[in-house]
Chain A
Amino acid sequence: MPIQVLMPALSPTMEKGNLSKWLKKEGETIKSGDVIAEIETDKATMEVEATDEGTLGKILIPEGTADVAVNTPIATILADGESAADLAKAPAPAQKAAESAAPAVAKAEAPAPKTAPAPQAIAEPDPEVPAGTEMVTQTIREALRDAMAEEMRRDADVFVMGEEVAEYQGAYKVTQGLLQEFGAKRVIDTPITEHGFAGVGVGAAMTGLKPIVEFMTFNFAMQAIDQIINSAAKTLYMSGGQMGCSIVFRGPNGAAARVAAQHSQDYSAWYSSVPGLKVVAPFSAADYKGLLKAAIRDPNPVIFLENEMLYGHTGEVPKLDDFVIPIGKARIVRSGGHVTIISWSNGMSYALKAADELAKDGIEAEVIDLRTLRPMDTETIINSVKKTGRAVTVEEGWAQSGVGAEIAARIMENAFDYLDAPVARVSGKDVPMPYAANLEKLALPSVAEVVEAAKAVCYR
């Protein structure tokens, strides 16, 4: 029976890709290991190798087709003795067929992103953007790259260092094109040596340079956390104000998809508890750009927590010569009078979808994107809670000593008399991140949990 070749997933988060090129023609003989096609995501181009032998019977997806979903049949392979007439017998997509084509040696180990647009439930205009500003649609990945490129053009003291940031173009393609524009002096591939290069970055920053240190993920920054906290965060204070460091530590934080316990931790609470650090964790593409530019200009060490699941999301970014969003300001992205939902980074995806659900039941949620975790914009939270009398926090990290716990404490300290119900927390479950798809889903917050929590504090 003819074998179907399916569109392979190149990474845990890939849902679709472009079939950029066929390297074999219909009727050509194929041996196991032959490269038959090239497929491309916004992260990487990969070769598809045949795992079966035979003849390429029919190409089902022509080259140049964009957005081919994973597991779509892209071709059939005829075994010896089979002819085109047998093509009709090809089975429906099945697991067996999926295994018949595997991507060649994974050039990018890092998972590729979704390309779905970010939820567009934003009701409130961005106060940082003048009315009438032209907007461009960008992925968050592009917004980050543009922010770095703009700041590097502006200031020769800014440079990028990290693993695979230069020649590889970034493990998640965030630094794409920077090496070509700025050269190897300012876009520096480091050995796999987080503790060491974090210290090198801090030392360089102590002399007045402005490093952007990329961690392939913040999970690996645990190797470097001594330099981040003991050297970067504390030196200004320990030196009586003489010597600080302007440095950005950035990279993906928190859970990606199916990468298990050691690669899925959210460090929001860890870093945001440290005086001397600023901690930024944006959600929208515009905020990613404007806040990264602010972080690079900031004279203090800034932890810039990105989210891998969001890299491929698109959003509207203002076309302004110098779009900088001040660190330390939350944003009300949806206004409502019944309950305040507070989140940041990818937690906002649950929060915004939950707000849509709640609206169907007549509950108008006010959704606050904190954007910065330290310094925290307590005022915006408190003003909202004074209006709604109810609050729900949403985070992917653990609840104990979490950011939600901190927000709840601040609400209690500053708006206790305005509360009509105890503050509710929705968080990641109190377990290491499991690998199994169903368990992983259970370990993370869900829209349903946010809806439930909001209803509970509204006594509905």
Chain B
Amino acid sequence: MITLWFSLLVLCWMLFFVLEGFDFGVGILGPALGRDDHERGAIVRTVGPFWDGNEVWLVAAIGVTFAAFPDWYAALLSALYLPMVAILLLLAIRGVALEFRGKGDGPRWRQLCDAALTTSSAGIVLLWGAILGVLTHGLAVGPDGQVTGTGLSRSLGPLASWPALAGAILALFAALLLGAAFLSLRTTGPVHVRAQRATLAIASTGTAVLAVLGIVTGSWLLLAAAALSLIITLIARTGREMLAFAGTATGVAGAVVAVFTHHGDVVLRSTLNPAWSLTMTGAAATGSALKLITVVGVVVLPGVLVYQAFSYWVFRKRVSSERVPS
């Protein structure tokens, strides 16, 4: 039962990082791939109907974490207090910039929104990447299941580490690639051409960087990422956009699963004493709560997937970035 809930939790986080991953990537790439107001508008429209539904996967993920593993939720969020605040504020800026962009008046307003969208998207990706990196390493969990320490050193200290840095860089790379592949898939016109080129450039650069890092550090994870990146480079060269996007998404999904299952049944590793680590069974809620969310999760989530897929199908038409002569 706990394994089932853990799987559902990983599924929610995975869908959040994949789906919002391309939203963030599109946000970051906006100014680079859209040369003027019109093109940037087209870029924003590719995620317009989807970003909000995608973000709900974060609500689901954090809700399921709280519901199924309250100790994990409590320890992680209170320990990483300031990074979480920063993420929430950046998410607020991102959502508002995206949603308000076309409602205001004048190109200056839209420029401001574009700038806010790009910086906030980049910030969110770097922070989540760093936090995923920290998760692979663990936190200073004490004997009572809460993270020891206090203040800024506890809040920000874990982010100033190699795993956090590696996580941030990998996440930025993944979001850029997802964003570029998604834009290739969803546009026509000049933005489409540039997005295709960007996909190729990001994938090939990523292959080289990841391969070098993988060889230097001897990390199999990085080497696997490099190999995947190489495959995506080759796919992108043939112009098969759907396959390139699907490949990238699979890679990101795999990485998220790898992070969450990195320590076996330990969900939050203690860097102080392995015995203090939060385990799946130790951090889990009790039977009745788990049973309830199992029923709702198994009944409701497939429905959610169906109607979200329906929404992607309704808005399947590519967004044109060409100027229509009027």
A and B bound?
A: no
Interface residues of B (CB under 8 A from A): none
Interface residues of A (CB under 8 A from B): none
